[in-house]
Amino acid sequence: MSEQIHLEPKGMVGQHIAMPEPTAWPIVLAFGCTMAVAGLLTSWGIGILGGVLIVAGCVGWFRDVLPHEKHEEVEVLDQPIIITSHRALVERIQVHPRHRAHLPVETYPVVSGIKGGIAGGIAMIIPALIYGWIAHHSIWYPVNLLGGAGVIHWRNPSTADIAAFHWQGLLVALAIHVITCLLVGMLYGAMLPMVPRHPIVLGGILAPLLWTGILHSSMGIINPALDERIAWGWFVISQVTFGITAGIVVSRQERVPTGQSLPFAVRLGIEAPGLMHSRPDVGPPRDGGKH
Amino acid sequence: MSTVPLFTDESWQMPSKGKVAMLSLIIGECGIFGIFLAAFIFYLGHNLSGPTPSILDVPVFNTVCLLSSSLTIWLAERAIEHGEIRKFGALWGLTILLGLEFITGTALEWYTLIYRDGLTISTNLFGTTFYSLVGLHATHVVVGLVGLTTIMIFTLLGKVRQEHAHRVQVFALYWHFVDAVWVVVFTVVYLVGR
Amino acid sequence: MADQPVPIAGPLEVAYPTQGTFLEWLHSWVTTVDHKKIGIMYIVFALFFMMVAGAEAMLIRIQLAIPNNHAISPEMYNELFTMHGTTMVFLVGMPILFGLANYIVPLQIGARDMAFPRLNAFSFWLTAFGGFLLYYSFIGGFGLYGMGNAPDAGWFAYAPLTLRSFSPGHSIDYWAAALILSGFGTLGTAINIIATTLSMRCRGMTLMRMPLFTWLLLVVSALTLVTITPLTAAQVMLLLDRYAGAHFFDAQAGGSPLLWIHFFWVFGHPEVYVLVLPAFAVANEVIPVFSRKAIFGYPAMVAASVGIGFTSLAVWAHHMFTVGMSAAGNSFFVLSTMVVGIFTGIKMFNWLATMWGGSIRFATPMLFCIGFLFQFLIAGLTGIMLAAAPWDWQLHNSYFLIAHFHYVLVGAIVMCIFAAVYYWYPKAMGRRLSETLGKWHFWVFVIGFHMTFDTMHFVGFFGMPRSIYTYEADRGWNTLNMVISIGAFIQAIGVLIFAWNLVHSYFYGEEAGSDPWDAWTLEWATPSPPPVYNFVTEPEVRSRRPLWDIKHPQDPDWKYEP
Ligand code: HEM
Ligand SMILES: [Cu+2]
């Protein structure tokens, strides 16, 4: 199937190609440098020898390149190259039209997830602060519960400690809060279209309940201090607030096509025959000008 | 001119290898300077004894000279590009003079530091870091001056022509780097450090 | 070919045995500026030192095989592990990567030589002389007892042990001076590779069409620029301390040994990536060719490599968790180290996806690359474990650490070096390496490798620290250490099979032809060995796999690539 292509040195055989001429000066210079350094370790004499060699090497090298670089003419040999493969068969990937059809064909853009995360994140602060105020008369209490890791000198803080303001606690809590909200928000953006029915009920209420359950059972290992003090009722309220707000915000956004109709590999940037349609507009011309 | 006969073709142009190489060298040099600067900053205020950076005089004139040499060498580059060899020679010579002034200034500064203030590389941490950092820069200036002078000699012999503009520009990149680094060294040693 | 009139000998000298005397032959190598010859010299130099450092490792393992052993003296033991580490990193890893780069990169991008052929020769000789200077210390470096004394302060040479008061004599000076020299050689070659890849590409070879091997060597070289220079600077400081009475690392005068540790690892960590990226580069070539599929996710591979390059600059203090840092410092370096794992993960998956569904040929190069995939996975995982500060506090400087980095250095890098030699030897020498011997080599080596380095994890858990001269019999380490030593010897046998293969196939190997593996990059479009000028006429490429395009005119890549 494949035709043979010969890279003949067409008409070049016997002609000459200029290549840089072999020269000893680089090795002289390198040896000079070595001796100069070795002089430090052994004796001055060797160092001086090194210095002399360095000067000689530099001058010699200089004269190799200036005013004109020295070249040597190399004769072109007659070595024809045949580029061919006996594996002419190219297997094509068969992309069935209904491939992966269970993934959504349309989805919310990434920004919608981010927006949802921001809205949910702001909304869930309210129940958390209310809880802090009601239970401990301090809005800093929930903040420090989340960001206590940032207050480095804390060893077994008392309730009063936690209720006080700590800027490190605030910073760390903010960072954790912002990052998690954005990530979960984006997860919402990606997953809501996959939820078959009642996305708000499922994503807004059931999902927060589920992950609160997971946290409830694992918090003792992850963060025992938090586990001791956390009020799970209020925690659920915050989470559900987040879930519902984020869900509503996300589902209000425009949908965009996912590219699911394209094969997976193409979306990853793989180009291979059979995967995509060849582009008839790109011909074999010298497209060297295209950078 | 290329070292190896390149396949030449106007529609397929690659960046100049001389410039790429010089920029790479400069990035590498930044690594070296970075480490010496880090040591200088790390040891600020850690002296156990002896003179502190407050004995330094700010070398304003030196700095002005070195920085303006960047300007003159740039003008020289433009001159040779336009084939004005005499103008090139004059500006190049001026660059050398400015560089020489700088290095003499540094020498005098060190002389006073050593003989008036008794500060050597082994006196204390300030001496160690100061001499090594400023010395590292001075070494670069000296190397640069050797290069500048070589080109000057060939200019005087009438061997430098318009077609060498590219090589001259590649070399000038190095000199610009030496100047730019001085801005950092100067700020750290004489402004922040003092 | 041998009866052609040849004005200058090609890279395969012995193909023209009747030509000239031995001296002329030597002269042609010493004065050469041809990238192929320089590449071969680099590789031969590196393989030679691989044997030397391997022999040192064997001595270390003899000493540790049984408890309370005194096979070699404690002083000698310190010298051996220092020289083993230094040699393997600076005289084996770096030269072999630059050798491969020298040989392959110009061929892959369709150039006739490196951008600066003379600088190339100079850099090689500087590295080579640096290596010889280092080894001269065995006879020349007057040590504590007035006898020859090699460096003995570990390959990281922590201060204050390296200062005059604790290391009199010249052994440390040899270490610093030799590495400064070879460091400049490294810098020269790195600059050369960057200039070559950026400025010497043939027509149509845009950056996004460059073979991944070349891409990775570009990244490595760029990383080298900012990696090797801090070490050079720190070593200059060390020499200033030792010779000029400076106080950089001298705690007595207020200086700080901690600064050395920082400087060393600012170099040391990126350095391990400088070593491992070329291994990735080899896998990037070998795996697609032997899976008969284009590499999966080319853009992702490029991005991940560049990403690794940048991140590796910000993780150095994961070598310093036990030095004592602030909680913020610890957290930062834990997290940044784990980020490296993400990029590495991308690469692992891309290699697997390349193999998935391909028609894989289990030739020797591919075997080594598959071994690499397995072993690098485990190495990366132990790396992530050590990157968790609390874990590291337990296991730092134990044999677990040694196991981690040997899994990378041997399990990944050395394996890929072997793969590279099997893959490109036919190009350079015109003859294939024997497949039978190759398979023996692979299996013997892999078995030895796992005996040695899997076991090391466990002695590490049982508390055996690194760099100890000997140990008491009641620690429960005896059997494991014996297993480790036996494994080491099995690996040595594997390497000897390899060496024999190199020599034997040179004379009796099967003729390779220009394209023995049915591969796709430009180096396979030249005769084996390539003539001095590589290409008679300028090649022109339109896709990432120019030879594929020619071989499959119906399905050329340029129809599908962006
Ligand atoms: C995902 C990749 C990797 C991670 C997360 C990682 C992590 C680590 C960590 C945390 C240490 C410090 C352990 C300690 O000192 O207690 C370490 C040590 C080391 N790693 Fe890795 N590593 C990775 C890959 C590599 C690679 C690719 C290489 C080599 C090419 C390498 C070579 C080394 C070496 C040589 C040491 C020991 C240095 C010494 O103390 O002498 N690592 N690694
Ligand atoms: Cu590291």
ipTM of the complex: 0.91
DSSP per-residue codes, C390-453: HHHHHHTTBHHHHHHHHIIIIIIIIHHHHHHHHHHHHHHHSBPPPHHHHHHHHHHHHHHHHHHH
Which of the residues C207, C229, C240 would you substitute to probe the B interface, choosing the one with the greatest number of B C-beta atoms within 10 Å?
A: C229
C-alpha distances out from residue C386 to C148, C341, C468, Å? 37, 12, 21
Q: What pLDDT score does C45 carry?
A: 95
CA of B10 to nearest chain A CA: how many angstroms apart? 9
Confirm or reject contact between C65 and chain B (CB < 8 A).
no
Q: What is the mean pLDDT of residues C260-283?
A: 94
CA of C252 to nearest chain B CA: how many angstroms apart? 10
Give the C-alpha separation, C465 to C137, whole Å. Answer: 27
Q: Contact C63/C72 with Cβ under 8 angstroms?
A: yes
Give the C-alpha separation, C446 to B32, whole Å. Answer: 40
Q: Mind listing the domains of chain B with CATH numbers?
A: 17-42+62-192 (1.20.120.80)
When comparing pLDDT for C545 and A285, which is higher?
C545
Q: Contact A200/A164 with Cβ under 8 angstroms?
A: no
Confirm or reject contact between A55 and chain B (CB < 8 A).
no
Atom of ligand 1 nearest to the CA of C341: 1
Confirm or reject contact between A65 and chain B (CB < 8 A).
yes
pLDDT per residue over C432-462, tens digit each? 999 999 999 999 999 999 999 999 999 999 9
Q: What pLDDT score does B56 carry?
A: 86
Give the C-alpha separation, B158 to B150, whole Å. Answer: 13
Pairing mode, if any, of strands A106-107 and A5-6?
unpaired
Q: What pLDDT score does C6 carry?
A: 38
Establish whether residue C387 lines the binding site of ligand 1, counting it when its CB lies within 6 angstroms of any ligand atom.
yes
Q: What pLDDT score does A265 carry?
A: 63
- Please tell me the distance between residue C389's alpha carbon and the centre of ligand 2 in angstroms: 13
Q: Per the domain annotation, does C2 fall within a domain? A: no
Q: What is the mean pLDDT of residues C50-72?
A: 93
Give the list of residues 6+ apart from residue B99 with CB closer than 8 angstroms, or none.
Answer: B66, B69, B141, B144, B145, B148
Residue burial C362-378, b: 16+ Cβ < 10 Å; e: rest: ebbbbbbbbbbbebbbb
- Other Cβ atoms closer than 10 A to A135: 15
The domain of C91 spans 22-559
**C437: nearest Cα among C508, C511, C487:** C508
Please indicate whether, in this complex, the C-beta atoms of A78 and C4 are within 8 angstroms of each other.
yes
Please indicate whether, in this complex, the C-beta atoms of A288 and B1 are within 8 angstroms of each other.
no
Please indicate whether, in this complex, the C-beta atoms of B42 and C253 are within 8 angstroms of each other.
no
**How many residue pairs from chains A and C have C-beta atoms closer than 8 A?**
183
Q: Per the domain annotation, does C235 fall within a domain? A: yes
C-alpha distances out from residue B137 to A36, A220, B143, Å? 21, 58, 10
CA of C332 to nearest chain A CA: how many angstroms apart? 13
Q: Per the domain annotation, does C499 fall within a domain? A: yes
Q: What is the mean pLDDT of residues C330-343?
A: 89
End-to-end CA distance of chain C: 41
Confirm or reject contact between A284 and chain B (CB < 8 A).
no
Residue of chain C minimizing CA distance to B125: C247
Residue burial B57-69, b: 16+ Cβ < 10 Å; e: rest: eebeebbebbbeb
**C347: nearest Cα among C362, C363, C369:** C369
Q: What is the mean pLDDT of residues C505-513?
A: 90
3-state class of C79 per DSSP? Answer: helix
Residuewise pLDDT in 10s, chain B (194 residues): 233 334 445 567 888 889 999 999 999 999 999 999 999 999 988 887 878 888 888 899 999 999 999 999 999 999 999 988 999 999 999 999 999 999 999 999 999 999 988 899 988 899 999 999 999 999 999 999 999 999 999 999 888 888 888 999 999 999 999 999 999 999 999 998 87
The domain that holds C528 is classified in CATH as 1.20.210.10
Q: What is the DSSP letter of A15?
A: -
pLDDT band at C328 (very low <50, low <70, confident <90, very high): confident
Q: What pLDDT score does B141 carry?
A: 96
Which of B5, B9, B159 is the closest to A67 by Cβ? B159
Q: Per the domain annotation, does C318 fall within a domain? A: yes
Q: Per the domain annotation, does C5 fall within a domain? A: no
Confirm or reject contact between C118 and chain B (CB < 8 A).
yes
C-alpha distances out from residue B70 to A190, B18, B76, B137, Å? 55, 19, 10, 15
- Please tell me the distance between residue C273's alpha carbon and the centre of ligand 2 in angstroms: 8
Atom of ligand 1 nearest to the CA of C275: 30
Q: What pLDDT score does C258 carry?
A: 92
Number of domains forming the structure of chain C: 1
Give the list of residues 6+ apart from residue A289 with CB closer than 8 angstroms, or none.
Answer: B11, B12
Q: What is the mean pLDDT of residues C151-171?
A: 87
Give the C-alpha separation, C490 to C228, whole Å. Answer: 34
Which parts of chain A have pLDDT scores under 70?
1-11, 93-105, 148-156, 195-196, 223, 225, 257-291
Residue C57 has pLDDT above 90, yes or no: yes
Residue C529 has pLDDT above 80, yes or no: yes
Q: Per the domain annotation, does C299 fall within a domain? A: yes
Mean pLDDT, rounded, of chain C: 89
- Please tell me the distance between residue C166's alpha carbon and the centre of ligand 1 in angstroms: 28
How many CA within 13 A on the CB side of residue C340? 27
Establish whether residue C344 lines the binding site of ligand 1, counting it when its CB lies within 6 angstroms of any ligand atom.
yes
Q: Which amino acid is at A170?
A: L
- Please tell me the distance between residue C267's alpha carbon and the centre of ligand 2 in angstroms: 10
pLDDT per residue over C16-40, tens digit each? 445 578 888 888 899 899 999 999 9
Phi-psi category of A106—alpha, beta or left, where left has phi over 0 and alpha has psi -120 to 50?
Answer: beta
Q: What pLDDT score does C19 carry?
A: 58
Q: What pLDDT score does A217 carry?
A: 86
3-state class of C254 per DSSP? Answer: coil
Neighbours of ion ligand 2 (CB under 5 A): C 269
- Please tell me the distance between residue C315's alpha carbon and the centre of ligand 2 in angstroms: 7
Element (H, E) at C485: helix C478-508
Give the list of residues 6+ apart from residue C328 with CB closer than 8 angstroms, or none.
Answer: A152
Q: What is the mean pLDDT of residues C203-208?
A: 87
Give the C-alpha separation, A126 to A124, whole Å. Answer: 5
Pocket test for ligand 1, best of C408, C416, C456 (most atoms within 8 A of CB): C408
Q: What pLDDT score does A3 carry?
A: 35
Q: What pLDDT score does C7 carry?
A: 40
Q: What pLDDT score does A258 carry?
A: 62
pLDDT per residue over C341-392, tens digit each? 889 999 999 999 999 888 899 999 999 999 999 999 999 999 999 999 989 9
Q: What are phi and psi of C421, to 5 degrees?
A: -65, -45
Confirm or reject contact between A103 and chain C (CB < 8 A).
no
Q: Per the domain annotation, does C355 fall within a domain? A: yes
Give contacts of C 86-145 with A, CB under 8 A.
Answer: 112-113, 117-119, 121-122, 125-126, 128-130, 132-133, 136, 140-141
Q: What pLDDT score does A93 carry?
A: 64
B45-49, C399-403, C411-415, range with the lowest pLDDT:
B45-49
Which protein residue's CA is at the shortest distance from atom 36 of ligand 1?
C405
